[in-house]
């Protein structure tokens, strides 16, 4: 199954729309479709920013625990880093 790529679809639709009259019903329908695609791209970008922010926050906490200096702090921090990485990979796959 071919992967859907909204950015590529937007470019394709824009190219096709240039061949149509702005008054045509097909042009209007494609304009609505483009609005949906652009919203999808924005939403995905926002999700990526949110995930990145969560990763940064979690890494900061884990590193803070490691800097704390205790043996348990370092062990816990490394465990947290591994969990953060796995969680991030899972979230990116689900996007």
- Residue 77 in contact with residue 62, Cβ under 8 Å? yes
Q: Which residue has tokens 């590193």?
A: 63
d(CA 50, CA 47): 5
66 assigned to some structural domain: yes
1 assigned to some structural domain: no
Q: Which domain holds residue 63?
A: 6-17+24-94
74 assigned to some structural domain: yes
Alpha helices in 1-95 (DSSP H): 6-17, 25-67, 71-94
Name the region of 2 (left: φ>0; alpha: ψ -120 to 50; beta: rest): beta
53 assigned to some structural domain: yes
**What does the pLDDT profile of the chain (95 residues) look like in tens digits?**
667 787 888 888 889 889 988 898 998 999 999 899 889 889 988 988 888 888 888 888 777 777 776 666 777 777 888 888 888 888 877 77
Q: How many domains in the chain?
A: 1
- Residue 74 in contact with residue 63, Cβ under 8 Å? no
């Amino acid at each position: 199954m071919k992967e859907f790529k909204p950015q590529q679809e937007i470019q394709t639709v824009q190219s096709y729309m240039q061949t149509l009259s702005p008054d045509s019903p097909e042009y209007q329908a494609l304009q609505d479709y483009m609005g949906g695609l652009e919203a999808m791209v924005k939403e995905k970008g926002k999700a990526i920013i949110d995930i990145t922010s969560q990763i940064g926050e979690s890494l900061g906490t884990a590193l803070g625990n490691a800097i704390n200096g205790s043996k348990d702090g370092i062990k816990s921090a490394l465990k947290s880093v591994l969990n953060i990485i796995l969680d991030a990979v899972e979230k990116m796959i689900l996007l």
